[in-house]
Structure 1
């Protein structure tokens, strides 16, 4: 009896000791590192957005500090940073309208434009004002009464014609004579001319109609119309039930047209073109496509000429063609082919040079090419580096500005820099700093603003000359002294050799601000291996991204393994038809970190992710059940066969084969060992919640213990109170099951 009493006493003593592992102060610190609570409150000017004036005279921006929110202007004539207005005087003027509710150091103003000399336009609380910068007289502008615009008709550029749809056909009407001309005749419900397919077109009820849509694209000379036939004849829908409407006591049935991988019962789209002079359709041999791979045309300046691009189903062949409607001829300019996939294909037309430029991975690395109107292709960049995007084109000079990563020696391969290249292939580096550069070009292309930083180097924002890259003036510098006083430090970057035994991969880890190297911490993998992007935190503003969860006593890690984007084509191809193995490098990296750091407890590994990251989380718990112990999977595509068609067909392949079955979380549900929380928005029309329900059913049939949270009113991204509720559930799920202590539910968000 005495021994039993001692055991009970020991247990009684242990329980409060465990509960002391986490406190309300830990939660308060976590809350302080949510975006709304740190951005420009304890960490200032992490990234500065500039707003270019329509008159091309300069731009305005906001410089944040602990003391004030300062609106600034740079005029291209003197290129100096000055106050956009006298903050105190404008505050006084606004307070005559707002009854002393406005404070000079926290003004909330937007949409500034130069109206005239000494006059400034801006918006305040939804109203437009004109400010006299000499007298500081403030005039509230009359709200412009919108003309009775009809979204179902479009006027020609020369103002002579109105195009509209009637009975699912295309008509035009002369504005001068009111004479009507029918241009198409085969239209009917479900086979609709002059329409477009909306990705999020919502249909309500059992016999509801999709929203009415109208689309035509006039040529600049008003002689031609491009539009499309949207064919719903055999298209199938996805469905949802909305239980969140207070006034209803039955769920509302919602649906939308969307195809899944391998489906033939999809919306189809056919490009069609009409001559206004002939009042009839001009036939081309451009193909009808599904809603994930239809033809995208754009007019050229020359009458009747256009460029059309499209990818074939499966994303292994792509074309860019020059169409001459005058002669009804089609000329192939670019043909892209891949044994895996063509991802993020991008091109631009440079009409003044009679060329197109485009980005292609045909060399094994994403490079910039030009092609003339005869179809002759020329490589403008060459090497083992990655061109991320075309930032700007000076058409007259034939100069292309590109953002590229991994070209310079000793640079992190994810850090991009700005270059300019001419049509002869002469390449010039414009941003030499060994950091990541995020740029925005002025409307005339003469200047660019550069936010440059690394995850460990604070952001500096500068105005630069586009011609030379020379810094013209400094705009803002990041200040994190307030956050640092709270104990914050930027994440630690690491690298290791990937599963292929030769390639360097990168990641970063976040530690709590009260980190103690003598303790042992669980580690959580914040995952998103979606092959269309990468997660390495390239810039300084990403340094706070995972700090909140870390404050609860965790190490958080982000890793880009083989198969993600932004590196070589060989690197990217590791995930093709192989997305079930995207986490192998994550496991390798966490084991590497455990060997490097004594304070990482590899027996307590968690994982969470949203969307494709939610799939990762489910996959981790099933494919590596002895490694990952706790997971939170939100809005996940747990079976690619139930997803929207384009994403799985791009990365898991088409036609659908047995590999889809092999990587499905649903078919592998019996492998679950750890604690798994599934979360989904009830009306998610991006990743339909059906796969989460089906995964839950598979777990039930396999007699597996798991948790399920449905947010009835939420779509793919969670908002408001539902977002806070989800974050609290995710935090506490890890606190309870990975930290193995009693979580706290009642804490404040501010």
Structure 2
């Protein structure tokens, strides 16, 4: 009888598909596996996952430069799950294998007293003797000395070496959110400042003189955040009106050794919460007086870092981002008068992406390197600190992604960018150098691909790793001055990967809602896909506006490929509202997070189905975590005509419940009715399709009650859904258990088949 019902259902389902499908899709039969076939798919997927993990394919290397030299070592996965460690001399252009882990594993195990699983151990740190005849490395908590000629290895305590920071920029720079550069001792060491009873007291280092600079401070509204002028004659401080951060709570239900749940809490500012405010004052040590500057009260972030004009203690500048993210300023203060002047004053009707504001102060030339989107694309400007004059350094319909370093001696800016090369993926990352005046733009990495480079300590060389999502990586050593390749270090080979049966992902492009803009995504297919069948589509969604998320570098082992093996076509898309394109592209998200780029995503999948009959867009699922959890649930609330099933993990289902700094950036301040209108919770009654919610009870990123309140609203709306709460888990997709539940959920609701009966270990029995 069950088979008869199944046959009847399949016939009805196939008829519905064929009626709604395009002419191309009519040539493909919907893939509807039997339960036995589903079990085989799971087994085949597990086998492929295991096979892929054993293939020694290359995704890149991490060069470990020797401090003070142009030599570095790196590890590379080889056959039989081993790792080879390789030494490169950039000056000589040589590359030599030091050892493979399998050659030393028995001795490493004997000397450390710890088992080396599968003959593999990981070298955490390594340095070499001056004659390069011995390598000293750390593994399994022990230091070992290895003679490269005799192959002798022994324990050692000789572990003193200098590490080189691969991410160290040319010039030290302070990030904007580091806070005020305060110090109690004056630069000339003659004065010591302190706050007593909320007031500012300065005493001489010899303790002979004490000056009370304020009398109106108290414990409720104290002065503080004090910084000296370079000449030690002035203090910059603030009258502070504190606001205690509010808390969020969660329960740990299953703490070992307890019989009661444990209540936890932590500070957590939500949209609309009040912040501590700061009023700026200047104090003259000679006259023992203070004045309030004419600067506005700071009610967003804390006291700022001060930048004193080079060789001059009369003027300093600081940065101010207004709450609501629609105005950014660099403000100059005259310590003699308290008057202020805006050197930079950027305003926008939508948002200024505060976390990507970049400033660098070249004190000697009185220049500010500033990165902004004010002309519609993210570019570098050079600002004259004295006059406020601005010069556009980089320009065009492409994006400066980040500034790597500023060379103040050569007046050069080193940065990474994307979208400059016509006719290719606009997200691919390239590295550049340009002069302060905008001349002599040099592409350090002209080969097509997504690049990542690491410089030698003296920047004479760099290691460039580049690939594409379906093009194996190449790793080359280059001379920075000539850009010539010194040596090819590695070149990935996909043959062993393809031998497993896996299909490399495909990059796909379709037009956005405006009919003009290209939307880029990637497609993963089952290894054993039948071209005569049509398969459900599952979208891996994360529409957070803080970045773009479709993978651009080569990597085959990931969850999307694993899910595809069960009989799905899995896609990931960057729709409008995400970052790293034009300002207009990004602005779609403004006070509009519920949009999530869905109009672009749906058009993209429709275009995919129009090209490939194997794509069945009558069966579309979606899953995501965090902001992606909000998006995946929103798919069923706001676009149920297209999306049919969703798995939503630790979603921020209402932007009023989530963290202030993230949500006000995109939804704006003050909190208006649009927050409620776009909430998954207030729209819960609109749910159509099949939904699974996952949440960790110990999530301290997105409060768990965001999911609990959504579940409550669904229940009150009499909506059916699946719910998984994972005890003790933090901000996560549910971990291994949750990922199994997710796969089973999609098999059931998109393939309309029963997943394995795991409690009776059905897969092992078949």
1-structure distance, mates of 2:605, 2:502: 23
Asked if the contact 1:635–1:679 (Cα under 8 Å) also holds between the matched residues in 2, the reply is yes
2-structure distance, mates of 1:23, 1:89: 40
Query: Is residue 376 of structure 1 aligned with residue 385 of structure 2?
Result: no
- How far the C-alpha of 1:217 sits from its partner, in A, is 8.6
Of the candidates 519, 526, 541, which is equivalent to residue 505 of structure 1? Answer: 519
Cα separation, partners in 2 of 1:227 and 1:143, compared to 1, 3 Å = farther
Equivalence for 1:148: none
Asked if the contact 2:144–2:153 (Cα under 8 Å) also holds between the matched residues in 1, the reply is no
Cα separation, partners in 2 of 1:609 and 1:169, compared to 1, 3 Å = farther
1-structure distance, mates of 2:239, 2:128: 43
Equivalence for 1:20: 36
Query: Is residue 141 of structure 1 aligned with residue 157 of structure 2?
Result: yes
Equivalence for 1:535: 549
Equivalence for 1:52: 65
1-structure distance, mates of 2:47, 2:240: 48
Query: Is residue 585 of structure 1 aligned with residue 600 of structure 2?
Result: yes
Equivalence for 2:417: 404
Cα separation, partners in 2 of 1:96 and 1:527, compared to 1, 3 Å = closer
Asked if the contact 2:466–2:474 (Cα under 8 Å) also holds between the matched residues in 1, the reply is yes
Equivalence for 1:690: 705
Equivalence for 1:656: 671
1-structure distance, mates of 2:359, 2:659: 25
Cα separation, partners in 2 of 1:396 and 1:27, compared to 1, 3 Å = farther
Equivalence for 1:367: 379
Equivalence for 1:312: 322
What SS is found at the alignment partner of 1:21? Answer: helix
For residues 18-70 of structure 1, give each alpha carbon's deviation from its aligned partner in whole angstroms, at most 9, with x where no partner exists: 21231255245247548xx856x325221222223333543321122225312
Cα separation, partners in 2 of 1:188 and 1:695, compared to 1, 3 Å = farther
Asked if the contact 1:108–1:124 (Cα under 8 Å) also holds between the matched residues in 2, the reply is yes
2-structure distance, mates of 1:590, 1:56: 51
What SS is found at the alignment partner of 1:393? Answer: strand
Cα separation, partners in 2 of 1:33 and 1:321, compared to 1, 3 Å = farther
Equivalence for 2:575: 561
What SS is found at the alignment partner of 1:348? Answer: strand
Cα separation, partners in 2 of 1:573 and 1:382, compared to 1, 3 Å = same
Asked if the contact 1:455–1:543 (Cα under 8 Å) also holds between the matched residues in 2, the reply is no
2-structure distance, mates of 1:77, 1:167: 62
What SS is found at the alignment partner of 2:631? Answer: helix
Which is worse superposed, 131-140 or 163-172? 163-172
- How far the C-alpha of 1:423 sits from its partner, in A, is 1.0
2-structure distance, mates of 1:246, 1:54: 46
1-structure distance, mates of 2:654, 2:351: 20
1-structure distance, mates of 2:586, 2:732: 27
- How far the C-alpha of 1:84 sits from its partner, in A, is 4.8
What SS is found at the alignment partner of 1:541? Answer: coil
Structure 1 residues 428-577: aligned runs within 5 Å: 428-541=442-555, 544=558, 546-577=560-591
- How far the C-alpha of 1:580 sits from its partner, in A, is 1.8
Structure 1 residues 344-355: aligned runs within 5 Å: 344-355=356-367
Cα separation, partners in 2 of 1:492 and 1:397, compared to 1, 3 Å = same
Equivalence for 1:339: 349
- In the superposition, the TM-score normalised over structure 1's length comes to 0.83
Structure 1 residues 87-486: aligned runs within 5 Å: 94-95=108-109, 97-99=111-113, 101=115, 106-114=120-128, 116-118=130-132, 120-128=135-143, 138-141=154-157, 232-263=242-273, 265-268=274-277, 289-290=298-299, 295-297=304-306, 307-322=317-332, 331-343=341-353, 344-374=356-386, 375-426=388-439, 427-486=441-500
- How far the C-alpha of 1:248 sits from its partner, in A, is 3.0
2-structure distance, mates of 1:437, 1:372: 32
- How far the C-alpha of 1:430 sits from its partner, in A, is 1.9
Structure 2 regions of 5+ residues with no counterpart?
A: 10-31, 161-181
CA RMSD, 1 decimal: 4.1
Equivalence for 1:611: 626
- How far the C-alpha of 1:243 sits from its partner, in A, is 2.0
Cα separation, partners in 2 of 1:85 and 1:455, compared to 1, 3 Å = closer
Cα separation, partners in 2 of 1:248 and 1:83, compared to 1, 3 Å = same
Of the candidates 45, 55, 58, which is equivalent to residue 29 of structure 1? Answer: 45
Equivalence for 1:740: 752
Cα separation, partners in 2 of 1:22 and 1:44, compared to 1, 3 Å = same
- How far the C-alpha of 1:401 sits from its partner, in A, is 1.4
Asked if the contact 1:460–1:478 (Cα under 8 Å) also holds between the matched residues in 2, the reply is yes
For residues 269-303 of structure 1, give each alpha carbon's deviation from its aligned partner in whole angstroms, at most 9, with x where no partner exists: 67889999999999756655456576344678758
For residues 363-385 of structure 1, give each alpha carbon's deviation from its aligned partner in whole angstroms, at most 9, with x where no partner exists: 11111111122122111111111
| Aligned length, in residue pairs | 707
2-structure distance, mates of 1:77, 1:662: 62
Asked if the contact 2:310–2:364 (Cα under 8 Å) also holds between the matched residues in 1, the reply is no
- How far the C-alpha of 1:87 sits from its partner, in A, is 6.5
1-structure distance, mates of 2:227, 2:125: 29
- How far the C-alpha of 1:627 sits from its partner, in A, is 1.7
Asked if the contact 1:270–1:295 (Cα under 8 Å) also holds between the matched residues in 2, the reply is no
For residues 513-561 of structure 1, give each alpha carbon's deviation from its aligned partner in whole angstroms, at most 9, with x where no partner exists: 1111111211001111111111232221377451011111111111112
1-structure distance, mates of 2:245, 2:390: 39
Which is worse superposed, 103-112 or 651-660? 103-112
2-structure distance, mates of 1:431, 1:468: 12
2-structure distance, mates of 1:82, 1:219: 54
Query: Is residue 641 of structure 1 aligned with residue 650 of structure 2?
Result: no
For residues 539-590 of structure 1, give each alpha carbon's deviation from its aligned partner in whole angstroms, at most 9, with x where no partner exists: 2137745101111111111111222111111111122122222211111112
Structure 1 regions of 5+ residues with no counterpart?
A: 1-6, 145-152, 196-215
Cα separation, partners in 2 of 1:137 and 1:30, compared to 1, 3 Å = closer
For residues 75-113 of structure 1, give each alpha carbon's deviation from its aligned partner in whole angstroms, at most 9, with x where no partner exists: 343232233568688667645522584589733111234
Equivalence for 2:170: none
- How far the C-alpha of 1:116 sits from its partner, in A, is 4.8
For residues 481-522 of structure 1, give each alpha carbon's deviation from its aligned partner in whole angstroms, at most 9, with x where no partner exists: 333221112211111111112211111110011111111211
- How far the C-alpha of 1:632 sits from its partner, in A, is 0.5
Greater relative CO, 1 or 2 (CA 8 Å, sep 6+): 2
1-structure distance, mates of 2:154, 2:201: 48
What SS is found at the alignment partner of 2:668? Answer: coil
2-structure distance, mates of 1:534, 1:471: 31
1-structure distance, mates of 2:332, 2:147: 51
- In the superposition, the TM-score normalised over structure 2's length comes to 0.81
Asked if the contact 1:401–1:418 (Cα under 8 Å) also holds between the matched residues in 2, the reply is yes
1-structure distance, mates of 2:649, 2:154: 49
2-structure distance, mates of 1:505, 1:578: 19
2-structure distance, mates of 1:303, 1:448: 38
